[in-house]
Amino acid sequence: MTASILQASTGFGFSIMATPFLLMLFLPQEAIQINIILSLLISFALIFKVYNDVDFRLFKRFIIGSIIGAPLGLLVFISMNINTLKLGISILLLVLTVLLMCNVQIKPTSVRDFIVGGISGVLTTSIGMPGPPLLLYFTGTNTEKAKLRATALAFYLFIYSISLITQITIMGTHKIIWQSSLYAVPVALIGLFIGQMIFHKLNQRLFRVFIYALLICTGVFLLVESLSSLS
């Protein structure tokens, strides 16, 4: 429920909160697919409420970038040590978050939009986390909270759909994945309702604090997970 509250109130956070607990109960492949299915459900349920806030020009650039990045992510997943990749990403993420907290700003350009979409595509198919590049970019460009949440959710609908199809095609799926996802739906929907109420009470400054907290939690989670796996 906490994971869906975060997703509904900020547009991010479901994977960050849910993945560690899913990995305690399921095999990695099962945990990733359950995470993707529930993330798709949450994004689909919210997109009709936030549709008018989506920046479609930015959304299209993210999609084009991710189409290029997703196959590269698969190559990384197949050929590279994923724990080493997570370690590098975690350190970079924490450093960039500290810079953002020190008011370092990023100037948005069309080229950077494509690059961010590409990196997000790589991370989706390699470690199942498309959010961090978007979150860093949106925060660095001081994007308004409604536009941030709506554009991120719209992008998730696309990238998670591609990721789920890829996962099922290459690795297959299991009955337990869909059953477990179905069992989690009522709790996720309650979280969505609460998250919507929280979103409307957050001002832009408090929203940024939530974003920084999410980025730090993501970086720490990836750091701890990669170090524990490498040891």
From CA 153, how far away is CA 50, in angstroms rounded? 9
- Kindly report the pTM of this predicted structure: 0.81
State the pLDDT at residue 146: 87
Distance, first Cα to last Cα, the chain: 32
State the pLDDT at residue 54: 94
Indicate if the alpha-carbon torsion angle 83, 180, 70, 133 is positive or negative.
negative
From CA 63, how far away is CA 158, in angstroms rounded? 8
Cβ neighbors of 186 (< 8 A, separation 6 or more) are none
Position 18 pLDDT exceeds 80? no
- For residues 135 and 174, the answer to whether their CB atoms sit within 8 Å is no
- Residue found by looking up tokens 């196959």 in the block: 71
pLDDT tier for residue 50 given thresholds of 50, 70 and 90? confident
Token pair for residue 204? Answer: 């832009």
Mean pLDDT for the stretch of residues 12-31: 73
Mean pLDDT for the stretch of residues 141-152: 88
